Amino acid sequence: MASKPPSQFSPSNVTVPPSPRTARTLRKFQSHQTLYSSYSSISGQQQQPSNDSSPSRTSGLDSPFDARAQSPTATRPRRRTRSNSDASVTASSAVHQTPKRPARKTGSGIGLKRSSLENLLRDGPPNGDVSGGLKELRYLVLSSRVDADSDGMSPYRIYLWLALLDIPPLPTDEYLSLVHRGRSPAYTKIRNDTFRTLATDPLFKRRVTEASLIRLLNAVAWKLHDAKTGTTSSRPGSRRRELELAIDTPPVIAEEPSGEIPEVSFGPPVNFSQTAVYVQGMNVLCAPFLYAARSEVEAFALFHYFITKECPGYIRGAMDGVHKGLKLVDRCLELVEPKLAKYLFSKGMYAELYAFPSVLTLCACTPPLPEVLHLWDFLFAYGPHLNILCIVAQLIRMRDTILKSPSPNKVLRSFLPLNAKEIIALTVLLVRDIPDDLYQEMVDHAK
């Protein structure tokens, strides 16, 4: 740091020769804040009396600049100046010493070009063709991955999931009303699970707090509890918003291949009498929603819709949907990889012994989390039932290791790290080998 100015320093001798260190060296080793504070204290102690009593002159904030403004050599209008140690440096040399600022990047810069997937989400389907737009959206998910950083974060992934699952906007007040109700009947069970949710994943721990996970699961538990008991906690404002959405965007009823027209309703057609308020494993299934969402309300809307519409069988008391999925894993593996299946069955290794977490959580239990998000892009585009074949694909990737191991149970304690691209490619190939009746069982197993 430059030596302390002499005690005779006053506003009249600001033109003293510069110190041996130049302004460039000072700027290199001292921040503007350090210089500012040091000269503010000096000028505050040795400031000469002034007849000007205006607030701008008497404030301590302007004191380092007042000395220069009162100097006879100050002929320029008052502006932000250099430090006093740099007073004698000429303007031309100061220009050469000041580094140029890099040009600011704008939204239209090179490298910020939006992908076709993002453009479709932003602009909507061409000519208002919702059905055609959804088909194109699914194809783009399959052909080109969602743009994301190394942490798996994407600015538009959550909107992609909302569009693919056809989830309307949820009023924030509806979520807050559930949160403000306090502890649900499943609160103790939730607290016993949340602290160990993806406990070894630093990305998840850095972005999602346990408090956020507790709030969301507790709100969902209240929602399921109300559905079971036949009560409702929705406010009139939320019901009005639901009606407005129904008027503005009427649902399109498409004829199914069987000729039957499905019932259209805004509530999931689920019998909640046997639905559990909370089952172990829901915390892990909820985790990717919270990680990818931009707010808890979005995560709540997605998670609640998913467990009540897409896989209500997973949250029933007996979890019969999960057990059906495990049997389907064995049947599909026996069909596409008979040698591997025969070897596992001979060792007593059925899917219920090693694949229960993968079925229940849609492979969210297998790291890394960014690859889980890419896999979920595919599952939400073409159906969560394909998770059964994604598990079979993971077993095929481990095929050689399993066949060489005398104890495959040790190998299957933990699957290989997820590689969404390879698993999706293999799953697409496996679909062609699945008979129609077995495929339909896959579609219906979680209902």
Confidence of residue 57 (pLDDT cuts 50, 70, 90): very low
Task: Confirm whether 192 is domain-assigned.
Answer: no
pLDDT at 381: 95
User: Which residues lie below 8 Å from residue 359, measured CB to CB, with a gap of 6+?
Assistant: 322, 325, 326, 329, 351, 387, 388, 391
Q: Over 90: is that where the pLDDT of 97 sits? A: no
Task: Confirm whether 131 is domain-assigned.
Answer: no
CB 307 within 8 Å of CB 322: no
CA distance 71 to 16: 12
CATH of the domain at 388: 1.10.472.80
Question: How many separate domains does the chain show?
Answer: 2
pLDDT at 316: 85
Task: Confirm whether 259 is domain-assigned.
Answer: no
| Tens of pLDDT, residues 307-320 | 999 999 998 878 99
Mean pLDDT of 128-152: 91
Q: Is the dihedral of CA 227, 224, 179, 157 positive or negative?
A: negative
Task: Confirm whether 201 is domain-assigned.
Answer: no
CB 274 within 8 Å of CB 317: yes
Confidence of residue 248 (pLDDT cuts 50, 70, 90): very low
**Cα angle at 342 between 337 and 345, to 5 degrees?**
125
The fraction of the chain above a pLDDT of 70, given in percent, is: 65
Task: Confirm whether 165 is domain-assigned.
Answer: no
CB 276 within 8 Å of CB 289: no
Task: Confirm whether 351 is domain-assigned.
Answer: yes
Residue 66, class by beta-carbon neighbours within 10 Å (0-12 exposed, 13-18 middle, 19+ buried)?
Answer: buried
Mean pLDDT of 72-86: 43
CA distance 272 to 224: 8
- Mean pLDDT is lowest, of 26-30, 214-218, 346-350, 352-356, for 26-30
pLDDT at 29: 41
CB 198 within 8 Å of CB 287: yes
Q: What phi and psi, each to the nearest 5 degrees, are found at residue 343?
A: -65, -45
pLDDT at 274: 62
pLDDT at 228: 85
Average pLDDT taken over every residue of the chain: 76
CA distance 291 to 289: 5
- Mean pLDDT is lowest, of 69-73, 195-199, 223-227, for 69-73
The fraction of the chain above a pLDDT of 90, given in percent, is: 57
Out of 87, 122, 137, pick the residue that ends a domain.
87
Mean pLDDT of 257-269: 36
Q: Over 50: is that where the pLDDT of 84 sits? A: no
**Tokens linked to 98:** 């000041």
- Distance from the first to the final alpha carbon of the chain: 72
Say if pTM beats, i.e. exceeds, 0.85. no
User: Which residues lie below 8 Å from residue 116, measured CB to CB, with a gap of 6+?
Assistant: 140, 144
Q: Over 90: is that where the pLDDT of 151 sits? A: yes
pLDDT at 331: 97
Q: Over 80: is that where the pLDDT of 15 sits? A: no
Q: Over 50: is that where the pLDDT of 390 sits? A: yes
Closest to 303 measured CA to CA, from 202, 387, 224: 224
Identify the domain containing residue 431 by its residue range.
319-447
Side chain identity at residue 72, one-letter code:
P
For residues 223, 224, 227, 228, the Cα torsion angle rounded to the nearest 10 degrees is -140
Task: Confirm whether 179 is domain-assigned.
Answer: no
Is the model more confident about 239 or about 316?
316
Out of 61, 87, 113, pick the residue that ends a domain.
87
pLDDT at 27: 45
CB 247 within 8 Å of CB 334: no
* Distance, CA of 11 to chain centre: 56
CB 300 within 8 Å of CB 170: yes
pLDDT at 242: 39
Out of 87, 114, 140, pick the residue that ends a domain.
87
Q: Over 70: is that where the pLDDT of 263 sits? A: no
CB 361 within 8 Å of CB 299: no
Q: Over 80: is that where the pLDDT of 177 sits? A: yes
Q: Over 60: is that where the pLDDT of 76 sits? A: no
Q: Over 70: is that where the pLDDT of 229 sits? A: yes
User: Which residues lie below 8 Å from residue 19, measured CB to CB, with a gap of 6+?
Assistant: 2, 3, 85
pLDDT at 113: 65
CB 18 within 8 Å of CB 34: no
Q: Over 50: is that where the pLDDT of 173 sits? A: yes
pLDDT at 123: 87
Task: Confirm whether 176 is domain-assigned.
Answer: no
pLDDT at 392: 98
